[in-house]
Amino acid sequence: MDDKALRLQQIFRAVFELPDGAEVRNIGQGTQPNWDSLAHVSLIVAIESEFGLELSTVDSLRVTSYESAMSLLEEKGGLSASTT
């Protein structure tokens, strides 16, 4: 697995207070009870900081799951398509 994908997984674990090694690839707004508006903002800020991005409000609202975050990073050049 790509280093950047591992970093994104660590961000999800940190924001949602999950144990090291917890599976995050299936996390989404509907499946993660801790995913509220504050957690969403924390997630976006952490992604921006870790990957050196500045996401628009529209892009931020597209992040509704781990997979959508991966797709956004692929689109923005943050991850290669082969990391999923």
Which CATH number covers residue 12?
Answer: 1.10.1200.10
DSSP three-state, residue 22: coil
- Estimate the crossing angle of helix 66-76 against helix 37-51, to 10 degrees: 30
pLDDT at 59 over 90: yes
Domain, as residue range, for 43? 3-79
pLDDT recorded at residue 84: 42
Structural domain total, the chain: 1
pLDDT recorded at residue 3: 83
Residue 34 is which amino acid? N
Percent of the chain with pLDDT over 70: 90
Residue 19 is which amino acid? P
Query: For 71-83, what is the mean pLDDT?
Result: 71
